[in-house]
Structure 1
């Protein structure tokens, strides 16, 4: 279950973040998409929006529930995953690769260090 997540950081609310040369890609964890079930809709933030750490900036809806997606960092939304608008089920099949939600240019990259590493997140998600 935790193969390609070793280089990711996690919020306890199930978002993941990956630093891609100073721009941080954000999505929801495999555990979160399994809990949600079949994802049917995603509302993404606006490019150029300024967000604060742990702000709800996107919404993911499944056949079971709707959930906020929180920003792990303070910064500016610089890109969104347009593919999710027409194909939100990508999140179910590829939560760490093709199913990312948005990218943030952080004001303070050190906020990543406040997040859980994959081992701590795995422990949390098994509770």
Structure 2
């Protein structure tokens, strides 16, 4: 799928801009993963079904000492967004592949947990230290 000169497909991770009200936070975007892409017959109205990544600060338990500055949690929060809201592509690595990167860019993140935003539960519920 091509939107605003950015090409993407299912399972790509993207950066979506924050709403105006959320700009007071330290970050500049949300991180999502594409689950499905839908378009009308003329490809003028493209919608993406996304799965949200949460940052530690957004979880019920908050940021913990062992959380990394670029850590995100894959959530069970799904949503439909207009493809026009896509800001840029980003990369969410496994923790193991993230630790092997030679250079970490602004668009690199990692995850080790899935997060249920309704219950506050993590999967897995423990981390090796």
TM-score scaled by length of structure 2 = 0.32
| CA radius of gyration, larger in | 2
TM-score scaled by length of structure 1 = 0.32
Structure with greater helix percent? 1
